[in-house]
Chain A
């Protein structure tokens, strides 16, 4: 049982390049989330998927798109990376509605130059 896994662990992009961050969970959770963490700050919600087939914007969605590929996988895409998107990205998942107990992946450290 690996929990929540993320790939890649590290990535360096040039401004304007695109990339997709992958996230998968093996806990049969319905809900999945993408957060970003900037230095000295807490995590901020980018997008979330309450259940398979649905996605919704969080606090900071601009510049990102997401895909809930199936129940296990939730990807985050940067279409045209900007230096302001340099951050550590965390994926999380949670179990059934009414009790949002989140489990986090190890994070992806992204640098945009």
Chain B
């Protein structure tokens, strides 16, 4: 199946800083989502973004499908942004793979 590599594995920020998370895929995908898992374990949809760029408040995401990567940008980070960020992608129902996640800690 598709391999998904996320970087960095860990990220520590001061409140107000910006960050970029990256997700690389070993093959082409036509479905791609970014999730935030909060400290209570809940998985929250951030973006569905198999290609192009989307923005939602302080978060934005860009997927370059031809180069098999996606980026998640967090601007002006807040302590509530802490948690684990996952990308998840693939081509069909049984061939969707999660990355290992980026653990983000934002200090006040």
Interface residues of A, count at CB 8 A: 27
Cα distance A45–B93 in the bound complex, in angstroms: 10
Interface residues of B, count at CB 8 A: 22
B94 interface residue per 8 A CB criterion: yes
Cα distance A90–B41 in the bound complex, in angstroms: 10
The chain B residue sitting closest to A35, CB to CB, is B98
Cα distance A59–B103 in the bound complex, in angstroms: 24
Which residues of B are interface residues toward A (Cβ below 8 A)? 1, 4, 31, 33, 35, 41-43, 45, 48, 86, 88, 90, 92-94, 96-101
Given A43-B88, A56-B94, A102-B96; 11 other pairs, CB 8 A cutoff: A42-B97, A45-B96, A50-B93, A100-B31, A100-B92, A101-B31, A102-B88, A103-B45, A104-B43, A106-B42, A109-B41
> Can you name 25 A-B residue pairings with CB atoms under 8 Å?
A31-B93, A33-B93, A35-B98, A40-B100, A41-B100, A41-B101, A42-B101, A50-B94, A56-B94, A57-B94, A58-B94, A90-B43, A99-B31, A99-B48, A100-B90, A100-B96, A101-B31, A101-B33, A101-B45, A102-B33, A102-B88, A104-B42, A106-B42, A107-B42, A107-B43
